[in-house]
């Protein structure tokens, strides 16, 4: 079983003048729950991507500097359209082009280069979800859920999902 978890970034971050991996940089409640469940162990293979207002869609272990940028509706639209990647090259361009990266997953699955995801969960605020083209999951045949409710409900939903309980 292969699953995809997309986590929104966090305003609460660990302070360090150095680049720190995203799973250590972000320190809000969702991230604390994520780290705790990861230590306990979770069900199946879970690929984790981080949706950052600053960096776009980035891998869990990608090292980033501290920053302070909120996801606004304008920024979400920019990330979704790929406009944020204009003028960027290489890895940075790919990360900033959220819709392009999700499309690449869809194509890689369709061509048999990577096994398809059995399901996906997005744990992020509404403005972050606007940066994602959820239709890409439908086109790939991947059921996707967006954790709903307040922070406590989202944390509980993520815990259940990571444990394979729902």
Please spell the DSSP secondary structure of 111-147, one letter per residue: TTSSPPPSEEEEES-HHHHTTS-THHHHHHT--EEE-
User: Residue 39: how many CB atoms within 10 A of its CB?
Assistant: 8
> Does the structure show a pLDDT above 70 at 69?
yes
DSSP 158: H
pTM of the entire predicted model: 0.82
pLDDT, mean of residues 20-34: 89
> Does the structure show a pLDDT above 50 at 165?
yes
pLDDT, mean of residues 22-43: 88
Each residue's pLDDT tens digit, 114-128 = 666 788 999 999 999
Q: Are strands 2-8 and 119-123 parallel, antiparallel or unpaired?
A: parallel
pLDDT, mean of residues 51-72: 86
Q: Give residue 84's pLDDT.
A: 55
pLDDT, mean of residues 138-157: 91
> Does the structure show a pLDDT above 80 at 109?
no
> Does the structure show a pLDDT above 80 at 86?
no
Percent of the chain with pLDDT over 90: 30
Q: Which two tokens mark 123?
A: 């744990």
pLDDT, mean of residues 149-159: 96
More confident residue, 71 or 141: 71
CA distance 149 to 151: 7
Length reported for the chain: 166
Residue 94: pLDDT band with limits 50, 70, 90: very low
Average model confidence (pLDDT) across the chain: 82
Query: In this structure, are residues 91 and 151 in contact, taking their beta carbons and an 8 Å threshold?
Result: no
């Amino acid at each position: 079983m292969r699953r995809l978890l997309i986590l929104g970034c966090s305003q609460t971050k660990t302070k360090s003048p150095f680049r720190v991996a995203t799973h250590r940089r972000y320190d809000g409640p969702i991230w604390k729950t994520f780290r705790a469940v990861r230590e306990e162990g979770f069900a199946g293979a879970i690929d984790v991507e981080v949706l950052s207002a600053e960096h776009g869609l980035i891998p869990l272990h990608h090292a980033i500097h501290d920053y302070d940028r909120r996801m606004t509706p304008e920024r979400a639209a920019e990330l979704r359209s790929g406009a944020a990647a204009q003028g960027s090259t290489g890895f940075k361009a790919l990360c900033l082009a959220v819709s392009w990266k999700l499309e690449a997953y869809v194509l890689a699955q369709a061509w048999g280069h990577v096994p398809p995801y059995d399901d996906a969960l997005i744990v992020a605020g509404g403005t972050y979800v606007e940066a994602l083209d959820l239709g890409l999951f439908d086109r790939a045949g991947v059921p996707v859920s967006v954790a709903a409710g307040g922070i406590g409900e989202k944390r509980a939903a993520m815990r259940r999902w990571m444990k394979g309980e729902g």
